[in-house]
Structure 1
Amino acid sequence: MTTIDPSLYLNNQTTSRTPSNNLGKEEFLKILMTQLQNQDPLSPMDDKAFISQMATFSQLEQTMNMANSIDALVQSQLMSPVIQYSHMIGKDVSYEAYDQETGEKLGVKTGSVVAVSQKEGWAILELDNGEEIYADAVLKISSDEESERPGKVSE
């Protein structure tokens, strides 16, 4: 004869619940279904009240969907290297230049950032001298106003 596990008895189940001030989509739907199940068949719920509750439920669901979409948009914007480095447009940057063929160091060069693009998840700074460098190759950043100050010796 098979026996039933005593941990499955209803009196052995936990009955505690943590109350919450937030009413979510699932809770709203449970309340609505309970109202429909327990209404008097001879005096059903007023159709205007029912329609109002359904409209509220629909509005709640749309608001939750919109909030999720905005969160996804914000996260994608924060992760974009183009957005992260767009503040560098118009700035002068110094970087270590290398010969494309030999890999030999050519010394430190300076150029003004005219655009920021993305390649394989890395930020690429496009400079006014026609070169493209990775953003992490920048050694120094300076603004145009800083290089045009009176008394400043330009390179």
Structure 2
Amino acid sequence: MLGRTYDSQVCSIARALEVIGERWSLLIVRDALFGGTTRYGDFQRNLGIATNVLKARLDGFVEAGIMRRRKYSEQPELYEYLLTDKGRALAPALVALTEWGDRWATDGEPPILYTHSVCGAGITQQTVCAHCGRVDDPTEIQATIGPGMPPERMAKKA
């Protein structure tokens, strides 16, 4: 079983999972991104999430820079949680995850469609080669060592 952190993994997927890998996390971000949810009570009501779990996730998002807290009421003291640029940058990942779910985890038609608010056309997520364009065959994608790989880890790969 995987622990809470992935210290032995030198991988950006592992680092991302440390921040957003818990199932409620993605649903909170989804509701903020695509539902406009900002208030604690609305997240709790929409998701049916336990209050202690929601507080921990929102606090973690603020600490990670995915959301920021803004006071909207003095009496009582209440805050809303707003996505930062870092949080909004998760949109393509959520669209891709939705497309995977529509294909492999949903019976029937997609329950949610994403559209471009400017023109109304459908939104899709694509894998694109900087030279060739769209890549449809996942077997054509290979992972290679990047410049961020620690030298001591590269020695183990050789």
TM-score relative to the length of structure 2? 0.20
TM-score relative to the length of structure 1? 0.20
Q: Which protein is richer in strand relative to its size?
A: 1
